[in-house]
Structure 1
Amino acid sequence: MPVRWEKIVVDAQDPARLARWWAEALGYVIVNEQSDEVEIRRSRDELPALLFTPVKDVKAVKNRLHMDLRPEDQEAEVERLVDMGARPADIGQGDDVPWIVLADPEGNEFCVLGSRSR
Structure 2
Amino acid sequence: MSEPVITVGSVVINVLDYERQKAFWGAVLGAEPAQEFAPHFLWFRPQHEGGISVALQTVDEATEGTRRLHLDGSVPDIEAAKAKILELGGAVVADRETNGFRWCTLTDPEGNEFCISSDH
Q: TM-score, normalised by structure 1?
A: 0.42
More strand by share: 2
Greater length-normalized contact order (CA 8 Å, ≥ 6 residues apart): 2
